[in-house]
Chain A
Amino acid sequence: MRLYDPTSSAQKRTMRRAPPLASLDGKAIGVLENGKLNAAEMLDEVARLFVERHGCTIRAVYSKSNASAPAPKETLTKAAGEVDFIITGLGD
């Protein structure tokens, strides 16, 4: 008996990690909040700790209108030119 494989044979999108920062000290932070309840509060607190411990600067806060959809390409492109790293995560 010969069975077809039901899983996708398509190549998965190639993904790679961004190169790590050599140091966090004095870096510019972007906050990407997803609009969920408590997301902004939680992320602000995390960002505050980076400011306190590493002398970072909060440069920009970006928002998504749909928590479960990828951030718009324009948002990520803009952020890439404005900040050294982004803090994001789910609220609730």
Chain B
Amino acid sequence: MPLDTARVHEVPDDLLAAIDYCYERGWTDGLPVVPPVVERVDAMLRYEGRPAETVIAKHPATGLELSVHAAAVNAVMAGCLPEYLPVLIAACEAMNQPDFNFHGSTASTGGSAPLLIVSGPAADEIGMNGDVNLFGPGNRANATIGRAVRLILRNVFQMMPGISDKSTQGNPGKYSFCIAERSRGNPWPLLCETQGYPQGVSSVTVFAGGGFCNVENHGGNTPEQVLGSVADAMANYGAITLGQSVVILAPEHMKIVADAGWSRQDAQAFLFAEAKRSVEGMRSVGKYRDSEYEKQHGAEAHALIEDGFIHRGLSPDDILITLGGGDAGGHSCFIPSWSRGRGSIMQHKPIGVCIDCT
């Protein structure tokens, strides 16, 4: 449904000039955008059942609001097809949860980017990629849905690089950071199944990701060897915090882990127990703080917490692990959270359906 009150710019019927016009207005992420032609946006809005003026996210400090309409405009600019809109809207609704803290995670020097992990049949239905070249490039849905999130942060919420986005070094994922969970050959329940949604309902998980660390291991043949490499990446001095983690296991690595009978919970427990640094080590690089140690080792401490060590996260549940990538190659990845603490907690929402709506 079009929005009668939306502002419209009349420009000459010249596509290249319209692309330049978008640049001149400051509407792009540095790459050319698809000009948000009225008819194209209106066609996309048919994929959302709610009125175009429905607010789906709100900036906590400025009060700026994201409407369904504005989401569709930015989705068109990013290059999305109309059927991608429900995924984008679910992602924005997840980012709008207070504990995700999208203002802080975007504004911070930390330079995180919202990582979107789409789980369930919706990913296949719109042609997303959970397979080879997982993080890109090459897939339109992955690339443009992630890009639309960035354009919304910029255009709707005015999170402008250098002004209200003060990332010290930024992050390639700030152009686009969106993947599908690989369902083909996945030995574990899909994320959407573990998140409590009804059967057949897909979900998108959002995580303020601080970068990307490839974990290469072509020699390990046991879960301990493969996951030991992952745990080492998670515990590196540059990344270890009390924050959450995302681990995407490549099929070769997943096969080693799952064939040994390990469940997702087993892998989470192993990584949580092993991804740690000694207090002395943390002191040696100047990163030790009593308050963080006490937070992790207090009355609520998880049973796997070891005295004299700082672990990554507060519990095994802070580590999201799933399958992704092509069949060949011992290349998994670890994606650290933004912030040295727990400034953003990952969130998820169902795609295209309303559950417990009021």
Where the two chains meet, the residues of A that have a C-beta atom closer than 8 Å to any C-beta of B are 1-13, 35, 37, 66-70
Contact = CB atoms under 8 A, between A and B. Distances in A.
Interface of B: 5-15, 18, 21-22, 27, 35-38, 41, 55, 60-67, 69-70, 73-74, 77, 98, 101, 103-105, 107-108, 151, 155-158, 289, 291, 339, 341-343
Q: In the complex, which of the residues A68, A69, A70 has the most CB atoms of chain B within 10 Å of its own CB atom? A: A68
A35 B104 CA distance: 15
A1 B6 contact: no
Contacts of B66: 8
Given A12-B63, A68-B108, A4 B36 contact: yes
A37 B108 CA distance: 15
Q: Which 9 A-B pairs have the closest CB atoms?
A: A68-B104, A13-B63, A5-B7, A10-B65, A6-B155, A2-B38, A6-B73, A8-B64, A3-B9
A1 B41 CA distance: 13
Contacts of B151: 6
A35 B155 CA distance: 31
A1 B66 CA distance: 24
B104 A2 contact: no
A68 to B, nearest CB: 3
Given A9-B5, A69-B101, A69-B104, A4 B38 contact: yes
Given A10-B65, A67-B343, A5 B73 contact: yes
B37 A3 contact: yes
A6 B8 CA distance: 9
A18 B291 CA distance: 34
Given A6-B156, A8-B66, A69-B101, A1 B5 contact: no
Given A11-B63, A12-B63, A3 B155 contact: no
Nearest to A10: B65
Given A3-B38, A6-B155, A13-B62, A68 B101 contact: yes
Contacts of B62: 12-13
Given A8-B70, A8-B156, A69-B104, A3 B63 contact: no
Contacts of B339: 68
B38 A68 contact: no
A10 B38 CA distance: 19
A48 B116 CA distance: 46
A9 B52 CA distance: 13
